């Protein structure tokens, strides 16, 4: 049941997103569209409540309960940025909005961008870690929590990977090949003194 609910929540996320943006830009009803988009967090609340009830009823914790915690965590960390990403493109395509801003490619600007991306993934993983730990405490010593602990290890791996990626852009920033190809201006040579000829 939990696995089916996770799939339904994911489908409902995109349905609500499409409906909210359609109301905002196609139907010209921005307030109603915003109201629909604000319903997105309710999906995670429903999934959290159902998962807690399932564990409370004595169901042994397994991969589905861990996946539910991970899904909620990643929705918290990445859901808002996903909505903004889609919103910018729909606004540009259907409402004459500005073109979406492309991320920088080189230098410390790219490193800062990578840290912002990493921060969102880290928030997602930390949220999932907290929910998994709450589930472990909730089950207590009456159940096997090894599956939930396995999910926690995966979330730590997600954090480590993102820190390594962002750190690599900081320690080894990419340089713009066009800047390297531009010839450096040569220093102007001092004018030679004119030789005096004897008349």
For the chain, the first-to-last Cα distance in angstroms comes to: 109
- 199: which 2 tokens? 């008349």
Largest CA distance in the chain: 116
Q: What pLDDT, in 10s, does the model give residues 147-165?
A: 999 999 999 999 999 999 9
CA–CA separation, 158 and 145 (whole Å): 20
Q: What pLDDT, in 10s, does the model give residues 170-186?
A: 999 988 777 666 555 55
17 pLDDT above the threshold of 80: yes
Q: Which is nearest to 128 in space by CA: 170, 174, 168, 76?
A: 76
37-41, 115-119, 160-164: the lowest-pLDDT one: 37-41
């Amino acid at each position: 049941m939990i696995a089916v609910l996770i799939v339904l929540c994911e489908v409902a996320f995109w349905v609500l997103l499409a409906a909210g943006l359609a109301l905002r830009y196609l139907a010209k009803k921005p307030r109603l569209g915003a109201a629909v988009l604000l319903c997105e967090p309710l999906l995670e609340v429903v999934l959290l409540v159902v998962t807690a009830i399932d564990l409370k009823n004595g169901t042994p914790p397994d991969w589905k309960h861990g996946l539910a915690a991970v899904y909620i965590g990643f929705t918290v960390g990445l859901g808002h940025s996903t909505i903004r990403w889609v919103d910018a493109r729909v606004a540009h395509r259907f409402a004459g909005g500005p073109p979406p801003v492309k991320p920088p490619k080189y230098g410390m600007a790219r490193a800062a961008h990578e840290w912002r991306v990493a921060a969102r993934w880290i928030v997602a993983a930390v949220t999932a870690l907290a929910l998994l730990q709450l589930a472990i405490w909730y089950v207590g010593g009456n159940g096997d929590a090894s599956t939930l602990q396995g999910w926690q290890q995966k979330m730590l791996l997600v954090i480590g990977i993102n820190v390594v990626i962002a750190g690599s852009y900081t320690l080894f920033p990419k340089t713009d090949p066009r800047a390297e190809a531009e010839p450096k201006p040569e220093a102007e040579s001092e004018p030679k003194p004119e030789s005096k000829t004897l008349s």
